């Protein structure tokens, strides 16, 4: 997937939303960039949030479910999974992706998807919202979570 075609978006106001940012501990530089991008989006919208580290991307779904069941309006799930020489990449990527999708559907609450599945570290540095990056996937994931939370509220009204 390329990042081309992403829409231009105006700033939103989400001062009454409470968000949990979950970030896997693997690949720290990229992961820190993703967290900073998410925080930029949440601060810009005025949302309340906390950032919680989880051991790895495999643990993101259960942490997301727990945070949403405990009352969060939305979760932003951040992870960095880099392909290695074994099939582990596919298992962790699928578990994170399928698990987070299931959590969103089971809870009826948004999960911003900021899990990068990469062939190498450079692809992550290019997408991590760092000074030399050309994409900011952490910001995009948080922005999508907030917009979806507001959209779902509107649909339920």
State the catalytic residues: 88
Radius of gyration over alpha carbons of the chain, in Å? 15
Contacts (CB under 6 A) with ligand DLZ, residues 66-105:
79-82, 88, 92
- 131 burial (CB, 10 Å; 0-12 / 13-18 / 19+) is exposed
Contacts (CB under 6 A) with ligand DLZ, residues 39-58:
55-58
Q: How far is CA 125 from the centre of its chain?
A: 16
In whole angstroms, how close is the CB of 43 to ligand DLZ at the nearest point? 25
- Beta-sheet strand order (sheet of 74-82): 48-54, 18-24, 74-82, 111-118
Angle in degrees, CA 12, 43, 69, rounded to 5: 85
Q: Is 26 in the site for ligand DLZ (CB under 6 A)?
A: yes
In whole angstroms, how close is the CB of 116 to ligand DLZ at the nearest point? 9
Q: Which is nearer to ligand DLZ, 126 or 152 (CB)?
A: 126
Contacts (CB under 6 A) with ligand DLZ, residues 111-140:
none
Cα–Cα distance for residue pair 112/120, rounded to 1 Å: 23
In whole angstroms, how close is the CB of 118 to ligand DLZ at the nearest point? 8
Cα–Cα distance for residue pair 26/82, rounded to 1 Å: 9
Q: Can you read off the two tokens belonging to residue 77? A: 């799930």
Cα–Cα distance for residue pair 142/148, rounded to 1 Å: 10
Q: Which is nearer to ligand DLZ, 26 or 152 (CB)?
A: 26
In whole angstroms, how close is the CB of 100 to ligand DLZ at the nearest point? 13
Q: Which is nearer to ligand DLZ, 16 or 119 (CB)?
A: 119
Q: Which is nearer to ligand DLZ, 65 or 147 (CB)?
A: 65
Contacting positions for ligand DLZ (CB under 6 A) = 24, 26, 55-59, 79-82, 88, 92
């Amino acid at each position: 997937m390329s990042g081309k075609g992403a829409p231009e978006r105006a700033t939103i106001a989400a001062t009454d939303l409470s968000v949990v940012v979950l970030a896997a501990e693997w690949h720290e530089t990229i992961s820190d960039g993703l967290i900073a991008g998410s925080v930029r989006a949440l601060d810009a919208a005025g949302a309340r949030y906390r950032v919680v580290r989880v051991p790895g991307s495999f643990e993101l779904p259960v942490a997301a479910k727990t945070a949403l069941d405990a009352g969060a309006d939305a979760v932003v799930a951040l992870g960095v999974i880099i392909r290695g020489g074994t099939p582990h990449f596919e298992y962790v990527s699928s578990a994170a992706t399928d698990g987070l999708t299931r959590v969103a559907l089971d809870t009826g609450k948004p999960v911003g998807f900021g899990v990068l599945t990469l062939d190498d570290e450079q692809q992550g540095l290019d997408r991590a919202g760092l000074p030399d990056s050309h994409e900011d996937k952490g910001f995009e994931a948080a922005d999508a979570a907030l917009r979806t939370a507001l959209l779902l509220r509107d649909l339920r009204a």
